[in-house]
Amino acid sequence: MDVRRPDHDYCSSAEPCALDLALGVIAEVRAENAELRRQMEEMAISNKFGLERFAASDEDIRFYTRFASYAHLMSFWSQIEPATHDIVRVTRAQIIRPSLPTSLQPMNEFFLFMMYLSLGPAQKDLAQRFKIHQSTVSRIITTWANFLYTVLGAIGIWLDEMTIKQNLPEVFSDYSDTHVILDCTELRCQTPDSLLQSEMYSNYKSHSTFKGLIGMAPHGPVMFVSPLYQGSISDREILKQSGLVPLLQPSMAIMVDKGFLVEDLVPCKVYIPAFLRKKQQLSREEVRETQFIARLRVHVERVIRRVKEHKLFSTEIPLSLTGCINQLFAVACVLINYQNGPLVKAWARKEL
């Protein structure tokens, strides 16, 4: 007896349970693929040395850049990022001109530059970390030193009298016309093998140095940075050459240390600690005033200490940086106004 099997109905629908199983398997595979993709991206980031690797750690951001937090750094980046599209680069021939970008994104170029300022590592070390050539590291540093020097310099840090008076701390009530607090700092550098050695030699540091003048507003921000000079120059001569004197008005006053004998150079009052000169001892009032001025002036020394927290300036500066050391120093000083919280959190005059 011929029993024929019925033809298979290809138009019939699959069992609902089979469809659900197939869709479940597909969803599971897609989820596994997405997870694997996420893990690969995380591994790529962790193996790549760049800003995104440290975005979740404010402690690392402070270590590598001196900015207080990642949010703080990104706030600063948002202010300068539009100008990076017109950045002028230093080429291999050290000619400054527009050119193609490097293999790094601009943000990571900035991160490399901040690492160089903050930690002062060897350029070969940076090249290995960022997987670029050492000569490229050198060009990035010079390019960003010039770029930030131009961008931050264009903002203008010198404050007018109205701004100073509106923000003047109460502790300056006896010195209410103080406009700027000044001090010099010296940066150790390699000793040149030439006639420049005697000019670079600082008797104070017993070493070859660069020397510069920094001015701080009474309420904390850096508002003046001079070029760097050879270490043998006097504080008085720096003030003459720095370009500060034309900014001063008769209604202002400056506060300086004992070494600044500049009353005849400036058109304004000078607050300076008393010193003996030909007297055997200071009067009680002179001692009190000297101590109080010293307490006010200590904050400009804190500014300088913050600058030298950038390790590049707390170690011996190579002479190979002579061509851009002024830009590096000025940028580090002005960045103090952006990297941290207020320098002066609270002022309170204590009776002596």
pTM over 0.85: no
What is the number of other CB atoms lying within 10 angstroms of the CB of residue 269? 18
| Amino acid at position 269, single letter | K
d(CA 236, CA 248): 16
pLDDT at 58: 93
Given a cut of 80, is residue 100 above it in pLDDT? no
Do 185 and 264 have their domain in common?
yes
pLDDT, residue 347, reads 46
Q: Which of 106, 126, 155 is the last residue of a domain?
A: 155
Same domain, 168 and 279: yes
Residue 6 domain-assigned (yes or no): no
Stronger pLDDT, 328 or 206, i.e. the higher one: 328
- What is the pLDDT averaged over residues 159-187? 92
For residues 316-351, b (16+ Cβ closer than 10 Å) or e, as one string? ebebebeebbbbbbbbbbbbbbbbbeebeeebeeee
Token digits of residue 116: 């160089």
| Same domain, yes or no: 192 and 99 | no
**Looking at the domain assignment, is residue 347 inside a domain?**
no
Same domain as 232, residue 120: no
In a domain, 40, yes or no: no
Q: Between residues 150 and 282, which one has the greater pLDDT? A: 150
Q: Are residues 126 and 91 in the same domain?
A: yes
Verify that 265 and 216 share a domain, yes or no.
yes
* Bridge-based pairing state of the strands 253-255 and 178-188: parallel
Q: Which of 155, 183, 218 is the last residue of a domain?
A: 155
pLDDT of residue 352: 31
**pLDDT (average), residues 17-38:** 67
Per-residue model confidence as pLDDT tens digits over 296-352: 888 888 899 999 999 999 888 988 888 899 999 999 999 999 987 655 555 443 433
Bridge partners for 214 per DSSP: 183, 225
Specify if 42 maps to a domain. no
Residues 200 and 103 in one domain: no
pLDDT at 195: 59
The verdict on 56 and 70 lying in the same domain is: yes
Q: CA-CA distance, 349 to 160, in Å (whole number)? A: 25
Is 139 part of any domain?
yes
Count of domains for the chain: 2
CB 308, CB 224: distance < 8 Å: no
Other C-beta atoms closer than 10 Å to the C-beta of 88 total 12
| pLDDT score of 350 | 40
Q: Are residues 149 and 168 in the same domain?
A: no
Q: Which of 155, 185, 211 is the last residue of a domain?
A: 155
Q: Is position 46 within any domain?
A: no
> What's the pLDDT score for residue 210?
93
Tell me whether residue 65 is exposed, middle or buried, using C-beta atoms within 10 angstroms of its C-beta: 0 to 12, 13 to 18, 19 or more.
buried
- Which range (121-130, 131-140, 156-165, 193-202) has the least confidence? 193-202
pLDDT at 351: 36
- The average pLDDT across 221-244 equals 93
pLDDT above 70: residue 145: yes
What is the percent of the chain with per-residue pLDDT over 90, rounded to a whole number? 50
Average pLDDT over residues 74-96: 81
> Does residue 1 sit within a domain?
no
* pLDDT recorded at residue 50: 87
- Contact indicator for 312, 117 with CB cutoff of 8 Å: yes
pLDDT at 322: 87
Between 238 and 101, name the one with better pLDDT.
Answer: 238
Residue with tokens 């941290």: 340
Question: What is the model's pLDDT at position 250?
Answer: 95
Six-digit token string for 6: 């019925």
Q: Say yes or no: 200 and 87 in one domain.
A: no
For residues 165-172, average pLDDT: 90
Rounded to the nearest integer, the mean pLDDT of the chain is 82
Contact 168, 148 (CB under 8 A): no
pLDDT for residue 162: 94
In SS3 terms, the chain reads as: CCCCCCCCCCCCCCCHHHHHHHHHHHHHHHHHHHHHHHHHHHHHHHHCCCHHHHCCCHHHHHHHHCCCCHHHHHHHHHHHHHHHHHCCEECCCCCEECCCCCCCCHHHHHHHHHHHHHHCCCHHHHHHHHCCCHHHHHHHHHHHHHHHHHHHHHHCCCCCHHHHHHCCCHHHHHHCCEEEEEEEEEEEECCCCCCHHHHHEECCCCEEEEEEEEEECCCCCEEEECCCEECCCCHHHHHHHCCCHHHCCCCCEEECCCCCCCCCCCCCEEECCCCCCCCCCCCHHHHHHHHHHHHHHHHHHHHHHHHHCCHHHHCCECHHHCCCHHHHHHHHHHHHHHHCCCCCCCCCCCCC
Same-domain status, 134 and 246: no
CATH of the domain at 255: 3.30.420.10
The pLDDT-based confidence of 95 (bands split at 50, 70, 90) is low
- Residue with token string 């007896």: 1
Q: 194 with 311, same domain?
A: yes
Tell me which residue range forms the domain holding 253: 161-339
What confidence score (pLDDT) does residue 348 get?
41
